[in-house]
Structure 1
Amino acid sequence: MIFLIPLAIWLGTAICYMVFYKDMPQSFRRSILTSATGLFFFIAISTEFLSAFNLITRFAVTITWATLNLALFFVCRRIFQQGHITIWRATKNWYVSGQEFFQKLGLVTQIVLFTLLLITFTVAIVATPNNIDSLSYHLSRLGYWVANSNVEHYPSHIERAISFSPFSEYVHLNTFLLAGSERYFQLLQWFCLAGILSLVSMLTSYFSNSTRALRIALCFALTLPIVVLESMTTQNDLVVSFFILATAFHVFDYIKTRNSFILFLIALSCALGIMTKGTFVFYTMPFGILLFIFMISRPDHWKKLGKLSGGVVVAVLLVNAPFWHRTYEVFQTPIGTISSGNQNDITVPANLLSSVSKHTFLHLGFISPQNRYNDFMEKSLESFHQAIGVPLDDPRTGMPFKMNKLNFNEDFAHNFLGMLLILLSLPLLFFSKLTPIARRYAGLCFASFLLFCFFISYQTYGSRIHIPFFLLISPVIGLVYGSLFSEFFSKIFVVLLWLSALPFALLSVTHPLLSTKWFFEKIFPAVNTTLHLNINTENLLNLKQESILYNSPEKIIWGDAWPEVSQLKNYVESLEAKSIGFDFNEASYDYGYQYVLRKPNRHFKHIAVRNPSQVLEKTAFDPDCIIAEVDEGEQFSYHGITYVKKWSGTSRWLYVPR
């Protein structure tokens, strides 16, 4: 039944086209993005509604989507009859406009976009989800929601699973119940990236008609290493980036067109962005301030401003309040406590300089002979911190600083070339022929990054939460370098961006399309020796992975730990266990265990929880065995039953009733 989702998008796109965008430029892109936003909002609302009646089941979700499609079909048919046009005619118009758009891109840009999108799509659809955060909390939620038939909180050793914003997982929940498979999980981020590219193209065209600017902006956005890697995962940074760029576009679109419907889209984007990830607020606040100033300075917009403010509040509360309430009941705060360590100390003004410099230098590391380049950069950063009187590794401003070299992991890859191009564009902004509104947009992009750095401290995995900034600034990069380069050099530039991104698309650490084992055993040693990089490949065992095309799903998830986990699985199966308890820590691969152990009539629950969610534990649950990643000794008692250790691994143990 998974086809119900693309069918709803198509019908929604047709309706939006006829009602709102038929005679506007970029009509198809606007229509499909509006349709996607509306369906995202439908997912958020319908999931909470069905949960309230314990109807998070395959049957109920299928009926809900079928009903939606039926309603959209009748609305679509009526609208097209009134407009005296067939949906097939509209589809042909979209095809023609698409041809015109791709002709504007040119062959080189088309090749860059097509190859990278095809590679990442292939990996996203073929590879079993195995991102670390996804195994711990992004996907682990789904098993408990389906088992409980609702999205209520449950006892969990992994606090992130019951306190981090859930929108992306609501989408995964719907696709899982409709398809009965994880096959489509990683396509959410991929399709959000496609939507982001559409928004980047519209933003760039909003500021300039230059085809060079358009091509460079799109290629810059798509070739960012962290973007390439995340587009093949079940994380949520591209999802929240979609709502951030949508909000930014809608703000400027409203300023230009004064179309009241756009304010409705802003309200929906804000509600869904906040429901996806808290970083949404920091990156969109400067754009919200601009819109507020624009509307408050014009008395004829005051009524619309009031409606927008009320609409945002209502939409945000409508989709977020149920989750916030559940979280507050457990943690006495609506956002949980696990993220408190990421907050920056804003009491000292110099801390902002420290935070901005560290967030920036996070992307400026690279490999070099004897690591001389990184040593120089780190010493420069230390000297800067001495000058401003703040220790480089002050715990109030984040984790201990570490210069990156070259990383193919979606949590730690950085945007070396991207950050260099951004820094070089700063002086060029003063000489480039940008319109005043384009300069204003550029200023808001940099303001969003400063605001983020003001509140959020440095983290070694910060590259992925910088994704919105790099994507927001993409139109500016296109405008600056498009005005600087000739047609010929712009093509060379685009090709260089493409070549820099291909290794990340093909050699991801967690799900490589090509074997990284081959690369690190056959190619890298020669490079390492020739360039005197002094990198110890014996410490890179986790990078030596076989291609996803030849690996089993279990091996993709567990990697080198699969032989041990396989032994554990066989032992559990020999017990014919129907109920399994999990005694985990915050970083345990909850979803990994569920994936290899799930079967009909088997239930999983976290036991002996050591955080506030322990109040949700059911005393009636007496597991047939307990899988622990916390060594409880040779035996321990749970609900009056003594469990003894029967199997041991390197960092996991199995306990069964005496």
Structure 2
Amino acid sequence: MPVAPTRLLLIRAGLVFGGAAVLLVELLSAVGLLNRLTITIAWVAAAIVAGYFGRRWLIGIFPMIRDRWREAARVERVIVSLLGALFLADLVIALMSPPNNFDSQTYHLPKVEHWAAQGSVNFYPTIIDRQLAMAPGAEYILLHLRLLTGGDALYNLVQLAAGVGTVLIASRIAAQLGGGRRAQLIAALIFGTIPMVLLEATSTQTDLVIALWVGSVATLVLDELHRRTPWPAVLLLGAAAGLTLVTKATGLLAAGPLLVVWFGAQLRQRPIGRSMAVVLADVLPKAAVIAGMMALMSGPYLWRVQTTYENPLGPDHLRGSISMQRHDPASVLINALRIGETALQTPAGPVGAGAIRGLAHAIGVDPDARDITYWNTTYPYESWPPDEDRVSLPVQGTLILVGAAVLLWRRSPARLYAAVFWIAVLAYVTMVKWQPWGNRLILFLILLGTPLAALWVDGLLAARRRAIAGATALALAGGAMAGAFAVSYGWPRRLVGHGSVFTTSTQDERFIRRPEWGTDYVWAADAVRASGAKRVGLLQGYNTWEYPWWILLRGSELVSLQSLQANMPAPAIDTVDAVLCVDPPNGCANYIPPSWNPRTQGSVTYAIRPKS
């Protein structure tokens, strides 16, 4: 009997869904059938199949939940009720708020619109090359929703589902490491109340999605440590690894060591009298299938990146902005300390930043050097306010780091897992630069560390010393309060206060990050629509918001008049009926002919092609 079979079933279902979603997009794109009709047919067929095979499970799940609730102790009911209330509040926010994440406005969502418009996921000319080079796994799922519904009303539910899934994974890993029901609930409580988790669960970012796939790799690998992996489990493990690669490459910093552990565990499953050659004959084909699944899911995308930028990791400037260029011990140490301080920052601000900067100078490292710091940023950065791009996790982060350190030191069933966690952390701080919004990028590491914190905390609560148990309970309560505060008053989507989803219009919500831009965008879009323009050219900067144009000019053909892709020149300006310009290099006047009579308001310029 597998550990936590219901949770395992849900994890497997998620992997089947995610893998099918990615492969279907690539397949339909390749044969020219990526459209609303084919996607709808596929979903109807999938719903029929899922309903047929899942009907017994659906019938039995509610009595099981009822029985578990009756058996639960009061504190267990409190934890479940709290998590249910937080994610229910997130559901309300997710449904009431349109996508308004900054990165989503620039590159996550515009590429979904390009794919839907052209009926394929092939690359296209653009100056915002993050639309092309950044891994598209999460956006492939959004594309399904876009084609099914014709809009973005359900987009936020993808990350919400990933948030719920990661909470289940955290609790299941705790069980796999030997934790009882209380430890499992503590794991769910720790991860489910992290402010960043609750804020991202209502957004169209991708960090919870990648955490979901990395966590799936982890929990599936733990299942295989003491048995020879059957082929169905191999396929699921391959799907989890493939989804990790096609969603965000940084996830491999954790998934890679986990797969190495799986491979080593399989080699140890050597029956008496069997030679190592026989064992390898069993293990190597399974490893090849996992690698093949990864190639199947991410290969088409990586090939497009390779042929466009001559590197499967994208253009040089994009790689250089994220990846560490120095790997000497001093630089890695300072990078790790900055990442840790930013993650653990309290409302008192970056208190330890001065000491970190002082240490950096003492050992010959510039703490703001571009080769270890994201470009155009400086350390430190205030990360405590509940903002989805930066919010810290001082309580939960401390519990995770201490718990992972304690269990690495102790001889316990969790020791190997703790070692893998620390290897993943070391890989991350060695390979990824510090950046102000780095707290969201480490969500997959936080998920992996949460079960270790839960096991340690469970031991403290069981201690005979009431003071220790009481302090631990207070820490958990403090973390939960931070999560509740983030849901209630977080930014840019909140329940109460200025900008509440209950009192702010959909249009204002879309521009809540840059309210001054809303009027300008609407003014220009109205003028272009009134002109009767059908084909509209875009002139933009690297961080320009492109997505609002797709909303305001729904039905128009939008094309970029700039291109950073050498093999894909942009169309000429005389091939469009109108131009929309927002902060491109060198200014709008250098791109638009004076005869087009450009008009400017605030940050936006529009121009209509003169009639001949």
1:452 equivalent in alignment to 2:428:
yes
CA drift at 1:71: 5.1
> What is aligned with 2:117?
147
SS in 1 for 2:203: coil
- Is the 8 Å Cα contact of residues 331 and 612 (structure 1) preserved in structure 2? yes
Q: Is it true that 1:378 corresponds to 2:356 in the alignment? A: no
- TM-fit CA distance, 1:408: 2.2
Q: Which residue of 2 aligns with 1:20?
A: none
Which amino acid is the alignment partner of residue 340 of structure 2? T
Contact 1:192 / 1:239 at 8 angstroms: preserved in 2?
Answer: yes
Aligned-pair CA distance for 1:424: 3.7
Relative to the length of structure 2, the TM-score reads: 0.89
Q: Distance in 1 between matches of 2:358 and 2:589?
A: 54
Paired residues of 2:386 and 2:489 also in contact (CA < 8 A): yes
Counterpart CA distance in 2 for 1:625 and 1:304 is 62
Partner of residue 268, structure 1: 239
Partner of 1:36: 14
1:285 partner amino acid:
G
Give the aligned partner of residue 466 of structure 2: none
Secondary structure class of the residue paired with 1:554: helix
2:247 equivalent to 1:294: no
Structure 1 residue 339 displacement after superposition? 2.8
Q: Is the 8 A contact 2:596 2:609 kept in 1?
A: yes
1:141-540 map, 5 Å: 141-260=111-230, 261-297=232-268, 298=270, 299=276, 301-337=279-315, 338-368=318-348, 374-375=350-351, 377-399=352-374, 400-425=378-403, 428-429=406-407, 436-486=412-462, 489=470, 492-515=474-497, 517=498
Residues 650 and 642 (structure 1), Cα distance of their counterparts in 2 relative to 1, 3 Å cut: closer
Give per-residue Cα distances to partners, 1:233-289, cap 9 Å, x unaligned: 011111111110110111111013434132221111111110000111112222122
Residue in 1 aligned with 2:509? 556
- Take 2:34 and 2:327, find their aligned partners in 1: how far apart are those partners? 45
**Pair 462,51 (structure 1): closer, same or farther in 2 beyond 3 Å:** same
- What do the CA deviations read for 1:336-370 (whole angstroms, capped 9, x no partner)? 122322111344232221221111111233333xx
Partners in 1 of 2:133 and 2:312 — Cα distance? Answer: 8
The one-letter amino acid of 2:303's match is H
Give the secondary structure class of the aligned counterpart of 2:166: helix
Which residue does the alignment assign to 2:273?
none
Moved more, 642-651 or 314-323: 642-651
Cα pair distance change 1:181/1:505, threshold 3 Å: same
> Kindly tell me: are residues 427 and 471 of structure 1, through their superposed partners in 2, closer, same or farther at Cα, counting changes over 3 Å?
closer
Aligned residue type for 1:340:
G
What is the number of residues matched between the two proteins? 584
TM-aligned CA distance change 1:72 to 1:365, over 3 Å: closer
| Distance in 2 separating the partners of 1:154 and 1:634 | 22
1:567 counterpart residue number:
523
Bigger drift between 395-404 and 422-431 goes to 422-431
Are the counterparts in 2 of residues 581 and 606 from structure 1 also a CA contact under 8 Å? yes
Compute the displacement of 1:141 (Å): 0.8
2 CA distance for matches of 1:586 and 1:403?
Answer: 23
Q: How does 1:100-139 map to 2 (within 5 A)?
A: 100-102=67-69, 103-104=71-72, 106-139=76-109
1:93 partner letter: G
**Letter of the aligned partner of 1:622 in structure 2?**
T
The yes-or-no answer on 1:98 pairing with 2:74 is: no
In structure 2, the residue matched to 1:79 is: none
> What is the distance in 1 between the residues matched to 2:430 and 2:587?
45
Change (3 A) 1:405 1:363: same
Distance in 2 between the 1:229 and 1:342 partners? 23
Tell me how far 1:416 sits from its aligned partner.
Answer: 2.0
SS in 1 for 2:598: strand
One-letter code aligned to 1:452: Y
Cα shift readout 1:163-195 (whole Å, capped 9, x = no counterpart):
111111111111121122311111111111111
Q: 296-305 or 460-469, which moves further after superposition?
A: 296-305
> Using the alignment, how far apart are the partners of 1:38 and 1:165 within structure 2?
19
What pairs up with 1:635-650 in 2 under 5 angstroms? Answer: 644-650=596-602
Please state how far the C-alpha of 1:223 moved relative to its aligned partner. Answer: 1.2
Structure 1 stretches of 5 or more lacking a match?
1-22, 77-86, 518-545
Q: Distance in 1 between matches of 2:279 and 2:86?
A: 43
Q: Distance in 1 between matches of 2:199 and 2:132?
A: 26
Label 1:269 to 1:464 Cα distance change in 2 as closer, same or farther (>3 A). same
Tell me how far apart the structure 2 counterparts of residues 347 and 477 of structure 1 sit (CA, whole Å): 29
Instruction: Find the aligned partners of 1:258 and 1:491 in 2 and give their Cα distance.
Output: 40
The answer to whether the 8 A contact 1:186-1:233 is kept is yes
SS in 1 for 2:552: helix
Q: Give 5+ residue unaligned stretches, structure 2.
A: 271-275, 464-468
Q: Which secondary structure does the structure 2 equivalent of 1:588 belong to? A: coil
Deviation at 1:552, TM superposition (A): 2.0
Residues 326 and 154 of structure 1: CA distance in aligned 2, closer, same or farther (over 3 Å): same
The one-letter code matched in structure 2 to 1:591 is Y
Counterpart Cα distance in 1 of 2:283 and 2:77: 44
Output the TM-score relative to the length of structure 1. Answer: 0.83
Q: Distance in 2 between matches of 1:156 and 1:259?
A: 45
Work out the CA distance in 1 between the residues paired with 2:540 and 2:532: 22
Name 2:25's counterpart in structure 1.
47
Q: Is the 8 A contact 1:554 1:596 kept in 2?
A: no
Work out whether residues 156 and 614 of structure 1, in 8 Å CA contact, stay in contact via their aligned partners in 2: no
Distance 1:127 1:634 in 2: 32
Percent identical: 20
State how far apart, in whole Å, the 1-side matches of 2:255 and 2:534 are: 48
Give the partner amino acid of 1:366.
Answer: T
What secondary structure, in the 3-state scheme, does the structure 2 residue paired with 1:437 have? coil
Following the alignment from structure 1 to structure 2, what is the Cα–Cα distance between the partners of residues 384 and 31?
49
**1:289 partner letter:** V
Of 623-632 and 144-153, deviating more is 623-632
Quickly say closer, same or farther: Cα 1:608–1:202, change in 2 above 3 A. closer
